[in-house]
Amino acid sequence: MRSRWPLTFVSFFLTFVLMTMAFPSISEGQTAPADAVTAATPTTTTLPATTTTVAPTTTTRPPTTTTLASTTTTLPPTTTTLAPTTTTLPPTTTTLLPTTTTSPTTTTTTSSTTTTSIADATTTTTLPPAGVIVDDKDVADAAVRFSVLSGSWRASRSGRNIWPLSDRTASYRWTDSRSRSGDDRNDNDRDADDDDGDDDDSGQRNSRSESRVRNLDASAQWTCSTLPPGRYEVFAWWPSLRERMAGNVPYVIYCSGTSTTVRVNQGANGGKWNSLGVYNVDATGVRVVIANSRTTWWNTRVVADAIKIVPAP
């Protein structure tokens, strides 16, 4: 229902205007005539009842978020003092058995052998050496050395893969091969030349004489007498040469009162360790002999460089 207050306000306003027009104001300093004074009649105006309905108002407030500042509380340090504790252990007595260590040293070109014996009241343990290498330059020590037995062995540094590889002054020994069939043929030829009655000049005689000396049996050996008894593998090393090298070269291994001959082709497998077999070695040690007898391929070289003796697995 519509409110009536605007209509009521208009009614009051019109009434006020009409009254003002009916009773004009008297100017200041003027006196109204006597006949102009009229008694005012009281007027009663009844205004209709006004009802004002106020629409309900709903106010929605936005949510409020309150963030509390973080609080850090630092506690004072606490020190706890423990009473000292003393523990007394009973005395302990340890008795060690006496030990004896013997370490003889073997001198070789590239390695050394150390034998250690650990002894107590009941057992003795002997530790085998890591290995022994005997080179053609090892000539000073009687226990581990290289030596020439017969013939002519020349020292040379030409070629590749000469032992030891790290030594620029490394050398080897060599001699001419001696083939049985070749020697017989040359001996017969020389006998025929001597019996034909021709007079050779001195240069030819000297040449034949040098050939006879060069082709005589030549042998050399490597020895090692410092090894403790046991099973050992023996290896041989020879270099790689530009010259032809002999085949069927004999290596004779002497140990424990026996000898074993192993023949190799030195024209192959140069510059590495080549196995000559596994042997039982007693306290006398090992001796390896190389020779130029009964080799194959006439006019080739037999080379003596180095041998290696290591414990067999």
Helix (H, G, I), strand (E, B) or coil at 207: helix
Question: In which residue are the tokens 């020994």 written?
Answer: 173
pLDDT per residue over 46-76, tens digit each? Answer: 767 767 676 767 767 777 776 767 777 787 8
Spell out the domain ranges in the chain. 131-190+215-311
Say if CB 276 and CB 286 are below 8 A apart: no
Query: Is the separation of the CB atoms in 146 and 134 below 8 Å?
Result: yes
The residue to which tokens 């077999």 are assigned = 277
- What's the DSSP call for residue 55? P
Q: How far apart are CA 249 and CA 161, in angstroms?
A: 19
pLDDT of amino acid 291? 96
Residue with the two structure tokens 């510059």: 271
Q: Specify the range with the lowest mean pLDDT, choosing from 1-5, 133-137, 170-174.
A: 1-5
CATH 2.60.120.260 fits 131-190+215-311, yes or no: yes
210 pLDDT higher than 50: no
Structure tokens at 242: 């530009």
pLDDT surpasses 90 at 280: yes
- Tell me: pLDDT of 22 over 60: yes
Output the CA–CA distances (angstroms, integers) from residue 134 to 71, 78, 105, 246, in the order listed. Answer: 85, 75, 14, 22
pLDDT at position 7 is 72
Backbone angles phi, psi at 4, to 5 degrees: -100, 5
Distance (Å, rounded) from C-alpha 201 to C-alpha 212? 17
- Put simply, whether the predicted model's pTM sits higher than 0.75 gets the answer no
